[in-house]
Amino acid sequence: MRKEIALVTGAAGGIGEAVVRALGESGISVAAADKDGERLKSVAGKLAAEGLPVRAYAADVTTSAGAERLVAEVEDTLGPLDQLVNAAGILRLGKARDLKDEDWSATFAVNTTGVFFMSRAAVNRMVQRRSGAVVTVASNAAGTARAEMAAYAASKAAATMFTKCLGLEVAEYGIRCNVVAPGSTETPMLTSMWHDDHGRTATLQGSLDAYRVGIPLRKLARPSDVADAVAFLLSERASHITMHELTVDGGATLGV
């Protein structure tokens, strides 16, 4: 029986790395892609040394040519792609009216346009085989306003709706497209938002001044918590689930 093949973007750290590990541990052959070639090489090398079927592919998802080239290279070297995980993402903080042009364009280039380029490149090949699964890692901020996160929230909202619309269009080919929306997850992206030793406590308890509730479960998500949700939606256990948004935030958005 042929081993399934998955392509994961943003694989050099945080949630992306956790997804690569989770899929590799389930026996899936994983193409780990990231723009940071050196860090990616280190991550993929570590996982491969543990016996996981992981191979590194340095790539830039913000260009159409880069996305097409990446998918083609993965299929040429590993075989037909069964799964795509859009986990690449960046965060630029700032009040909406103070954001620089570059902050806005860079955020959308990775978080939204990258999802479009990668999904188009992968799904056009999946359509020919009439099977496949896509999961986009978005954010609970896509549906809940957050102060100083306008660019990030807007980019994730766009990526979320793009993924759902894509899922509607390709359902007839047996291709499922879903979204995982994490909340505060213990990654470098989250800790970069903390200004002092009280950052963790403030995240858990929330902030009345910022109109932000805390986390009812009173703990941060681990990258593996998000990765498990991604792996489930890619798997046959979710074979009748598409256009769904699975929120993994410990109740931070109160189930809305």
Active-site residue numbers? Answer: 152
For 240, which DSSP code?
T
CB 114 within 8 A of CB 156: no
Which amino acid belongs to residue 23?
L
Which of 160, 157, 82, 178 is closest to 123 using CA atoms? 82
CB 248 within 8 A of CB 222: no
Provide CB contacts within 8 A for 13, sequence distance 6+: 34, 36, 39, 43, 187, 188
Q: Which residues sit opposite 6 in a β-bridge?
A: 30, 83
Which of 104, 95, 78 is closest to 24 using CA atoms? 78
Integer angstrom CA distances of residue 152 from 56, 100, 126, 143: 27, 13, 29, 11
